[in-house]
Amino acid sequence: MTKTQSIYSLHRAGVSGTGIVDPDFPIDALNTAAWMPEGEARLGDLGLPEVSEIDVIRHFTRQSHESHGVDTGSYPLGSCTMKYNPKRNDRMAQLDGFRYAHPLQPPATLQGLWDTFADLQDALAEITGMDAFTLQPAAGAHGEFTGLLTIQRYFADRGEDRRTILIPDSAHGTNPASAAMVGFQCRLIPTTSRGLLDMETFRSLLGPDTAGLMLTNPSTLGLFEEQIEEIAAAVHDAGALLYYDGANLNALMGIVRPGDMGFDVIHVNTHKTLSTPHGGGGPGSGPCGVKSFLAPYLPAPHIRRDAAGKAFPDWDAPHSVGKVKSFYGHVEVLLRAWAYIRTLGGSGLRYATETAVLNANYLKARLADLLPPLFEQHCMHECLLSGGSLSVDAADFVKRLIDFGIHPPTLVGAGCVHFGPDYRTAMLIEPTETESKAALDLMIDSFRKVANEAAVAPFMIETAPHTTPVAKIVKDESAWLSVLETSDGSVS
Ligand SMILES: Cc1ncc(COP(=O)(O)O)c(C=O)c1O
């Protein structure tokens, strides 16, 4: 059910958004059908809307105002780290020298970009405790793919036939997907009642065919794997490698480093932790870091420094897994990450992490009577709360929050590998460090208002949201319309 207009409704036959102002422009160049190999051109009316430039601009500008974003309201979508991204990082990434750079322009004119990327690689290595980084992967999942390729190539070079990757059942869905794409078999490890890796099953699955364990720490349940040193030792004793899904790095920066915990390969979701707005499919960036013994396998070109410290792209990589993206990766996203890291510095990054963890624990404590936490121990940057005692369905409850200017938190059953019935009503809430205490208190009040409303007017919750251009499809539409007519976003 939608109250928003599609661009097709603006169609007026004969209206065009472009005009040719250059009288010498070869009209034939516009005849795209002429460029196509014979038989492959789709001729005839494609049914595209004919719309003027101003109508297009107004349409999409209006639509941009109809979306919920970090710049318009709180966005505690667990696992996604939807934090506010300072605009100065956008400005730095868009400096003309960066924005108009082309990878094939004369090398001497790209020195600044290479030096910046070398600096970013060094900074990521310092933050994570790894030895070498590639900036090429275009997203977290792509970083996983790249990292797993390096693991595969490493074992192939050693002549070891290891085809299994172990993955906890709380992992993000991309973990098994990436492992399967690389050609590994996946074995799932269950989670204990404390939300941690089941050590007994883990040890029983670890064997000579194990290539690695992919671990997210803190996990997608917002919990730190307390036995990480024991886990790392067991993996290495079995001759396997330890992969770190760095999507939750926002909980660790400046406090503890994956490299020091024993991880051999990691990826970082720069678009979560390091200042790039994300959502809507990207672009993102998933730099992949490795310990030195895996560095020869990283994609080429690899940005390195010469003896004088000057950066250059090194294409001479005989052991590389190959290119995973053209040239250097998503340049603008990487530049934002660099600007963010250099602006905050080490102490600033640590402060961001501490605040992210504090904010999550504050929400968890203040909402405990309404939404009891699934796990008693302190959470990290996100908390998992149960909506089991609500008088309405948790999926409806979170949608009503939109009417209060808050994006729904993640219902974990929706996005992860295997969450059993215990998790059906569980909400993963990640407030992030950029929400002030006042904003958190407002969020808590909104959760309480919706819970109170659920007790007296459940229908108001079941049919929410009421203030958005796109509404939920409900069974009894006539009842829905009556709510729409009377609703101003609160119970009337
Ligand atoms: C824990 C975890 N791992 C991996 C990913 C995949 O990252 P991307 O969406 O950039 O591919 C995500 C994304 O939400 C995630 O939360």
Give the pLDDT confidence of 105-115 residue by residue, as tens digits: 998 899 999 99
Report how far residue 220's alpha carbon sits from residue 426's, in angstroms, rounded to the nearest whole number.
12
Q: Looking at residues 259-264, what average pLDDT do you find?
A: 98
One domain for residues 39 and 157: no
User: Is 437 among the domain residues?
Assistant: yes
pLDDT of residue 19: 66
pLDDT digits (tens, 9 = 90+) for 195-231: 999 999 999 999 999 999 999 999 999 999 999 999 9
Domain encompassing residue 25: 7-65
The answer, yes or no, to whether residue 25 has pLDDT greater than 80, is no
Q: Averaged over 383-399, what is the pLDDT?
A: 94
Query: According to the model, what pLDDT value does residue 416 have?
Result: 45
Q: Rounded to a whole number, what is the largest CA-CA distance in the chain?
A: 77
Query: Once rounded to an integer, what is the mean pLDDT over residues 277-289?
Result: 83
Q: Residue 243 Cα, ligand 1 centroid: separation in angstroms? A: 14
- Residue 80 CB–ligand 1 contact under 6 Å: yes
Question: Residues 275, 374: one domain?
Answer: no
Residue 444 is part of a domain; what is its CATH number?
A: 3.90.1150.10
Q: Is 287 in the pocket of ligand 1 (CB under 6 A)?
A: no
Which region among 33-42, 65-74, 376-385, 443-452 has the lowest average model confidence (pLDDT)? 33-42
| Residue 188: C-alpha distances to residues 128, 168, 197, 200, 417 (Å) | 26, 5, 10, 13, 9
For residue 223, CA distances in Å to 176, 239, 251 come to 20, 27, 10
* Model pLDDT for residues 50-90, shown as the tens digit of each residue: 999 999 999 999 988 888 989 999 999 999 999 999 999 99
**Based on the domain organization, do 101 and 39 belong to the same domain?**
no
Same domain, 392 and 435: yes
Determine, yes or no, domain membership for 362.
no
**Are residue 282 and residue 156 in the same domain, yes or no?**
yes
* Closest alpha carbon to 248 in 266, 227, 226: 266
Show the tokens assigned to 126: 């310092």
In a domain, 23, yes or no: yes
Q: How many CA atoms lie within 13 Å of 200's alpha carbon, on the beta-carbon side?
A: 1
Has residue 183 been placed in a domain? Answer: yes
Do 46 and 161 fall within a single domain? no
CA neighbours within 13 Å on the CB side: how many for 187? 18
CA distance 174 to 263: 19
CA of 141 to the centre of ligand 1 (A): 6
Q: What angle do CA 343, 346, 351 make, to 5 degrees?
A: 90
Q: Answer with the one of 343, 376, 393 that is the final residue of a domain.
A: 343
Phi, psi for residue 212 in degrees, rounded to 5: -175, 170
State residue 33's pLDDT score: 66
Q: Is the model's pLDDT at 469 over the cut of 90?
A: no
Q: Are residues 140 and 289 located together in one domain of the fold? A: yes
Residue 212: inside a domain, yes or no? yes
Does 471 lie in the same domain as 389? Answer: yes
Q: What is the dihedral sign for C-alpha 358, 228, 182, 149?
A: positive
Same domain flag for 339 and 194: yes
pLDDT interval class at 477 (50, 70, 90): low
Structural domain count, the chain: 3
pLDDT exceeds cutoff 50 at 373: yes
pLDDT of 491 over the 60 cut: no
Nearest CA to ligand 1 atom 10: 140
Nearest ligand 1 atom to the CA of 139 is 10
Cβ of 197 less than 6 Å from ligand 1 = no
Asked if residue 417 has its Cβ within 6 Å of ligand 1, the reply is: no
The yes-or-no verdict on residue 329 having pLDDT over 80 is yes
Residue of the nearest CA to atom 5 in ligand 1? Answer: 140
**Same domain as 265, residue 160:** yes
CATH of the domain at 192: 3.40.640.10
For residues 137 and 45, membership in a common domain is answered with no
Residue 303 lies inside a defined structural domain of this protein: yes
Choose one of 343, 358, 388: the last residue of a domain: 343
Q: Are residues 275 and 376 in the same domain?
A: no
Residue 469 in domain: yes
30 pLDDT band (50/70/90 cuts)?
low
Higher pLDDT, 47 or 134: 134
CA distance 55 to 348: 44
By the 8 A CB rule, do 185 and 165 touch? yes
